[in-house]
Amino acid sequence: MDQLTTQAVQDALAAATRAASTYPDEAFATCIVDAGGHVLGALRPAEATIAAGHSAETKARTAAYLRADTGGLPPDSPYVPAMVSGLPYPVNVFAGGLLVRHEGRVLGAVGVGGSLDPARDTAVAQAARAALVGSDG
């Protein structure tokens, strides 16, 4: 696999929707980007806030730019301003952005927003990533 296909992205968004349904008290948005941070697909149900959609997109792009899952760098880290100044889009260091790799190659990233619990955003993102590449991550 050299790139994420349209079908793979659609399947991953469906997997995220199924995972999100296990948290009926919250509404999640999901975004999938390619390795360059370009949006390949996004889903924000009507009950999810606009902020959830923005959060999902910025988490996905941040993971793609940094080539790492989000959530490992505290928002008040002194590195954040330096990162922000060099990127074309907002940075989001909160958990819920997961890098997508296949056989060691970065294909893109998944971002999920909508929960006050970072573990829930991450769980939904993990379901989407698993649908994209299985356990390869």
Indicate whether 1 belongs to any domain: no
The CATH number of the domain holding residue 26 is 3.30.450.150
- Distances in Å between the Cα of 118 and the Cα atoms of 9, 45, 97 are 23, 19, 10
| Residue 118 placed within a domain | yes
Q: Looking at the domain assignment, is residue 125 inside a domain? A: yes
Count the alpha carbons within 13 Å of 69 in the hemisphere toward its beta carbon.
17
Residue 63: domain span? 6-136
Would residue 84 count as lying in a domain?
A: yes
What average pLDDT is seen over the chain? 91
User: Would you say residue 130 lies in a domain?
Assistant: yes
Contacts of residue 132, Cβ cutoff 8 Å, sequence gap at least 6: 4, 8, 9, 11, 12, 32, 100, 107, 108, 110
What local confidence, expressed as pLDDT, does residue 82 receive?
67
Q: In this predicted model, which residue has the larger pLDDT, 77 or 56? A: 56
Average pLDDT value for residue range 9-14: 97
pLDDT digits (tens, 9 = 90+) for 64-112: 988 989 998 776 777 677 666 767 778 888 999 999 999 999 999 999 9
On whether residue 11 sits in a domain, the answer given is yes
> In one letter, which amino acid is 48?
A
Q: How far apart are CA 95 and CA 123, in angstroms?
A: 10
Domain count, the chain: 1
- The confidence score (pLDDT) of residue 31 equals 98
pLDDT recorded at residue 46: 96
Q: In the structure, what pLDDT confidence band is assigned to residue 136 with cuts at 50, 70 and 90?
A: low
Q: Is 60 a domain residue?
A: yes
The pLDDT assigned to 93 comes to 83
Assess if residue 88 is contained within a domain: yes
Q: In 10 A of CB 134, how many CB atoms? A: 9
Give the global pTM.
0.90
Q: Which of 137, 136, 110, 109 is nearest to 124 (CA)?
A: 110
Rounded Cα distance between 102 and 58, Å, is 22
Q: Which tens digit of pLDDT belongs to each residue from 27-46?
A: 999 999 999 999 999 999 99
pLDDT of residue 33: 98
